[in-house]
Amino acid sequence: MKVPSAAQMRMARAALRWSLSALSEESGVNRNSLSEIERGAGNPQLDTLLAIKSAFETHGIVFDENDDYWVVKLSREQDR
């Protein structure tokens, strides 16, 4: 199972207009830990990354990738 990269997390937060605090509330992950993960610092556990991914997906974010770039999509239903 793939988990979002730090860049994808930042893109997803921007798409939802979420602060780190909002992501923390939605995912249950400490705000300081989220900041470290987005900076590429530390070594987060898989369950932490899955909680973050789940919080985004619950709000319409879809993560994808191909050989050249990362993709973050926001469901049209969530954008209304």
10-50: pLDDT as tens digits: 999 999 999 999 999 999 999 999 999 999 997 899 999 99
For the domain spanning 6-79, the CATH number is: 1.10.260.40
> 3-class SS at 52?
helix
pLDDT tens sequence across 54-76: 999 999 998 876 665 667 777 77
**18 within 8 A of 9, measured Cβ to Cβ:** no
Tell me the domain boundaries of the chain: 6-79
Residue 58 neighbours by CB distance under 10 Å? 11
- Angstrom distance (rounded) from CA 41 to CA 71: 22
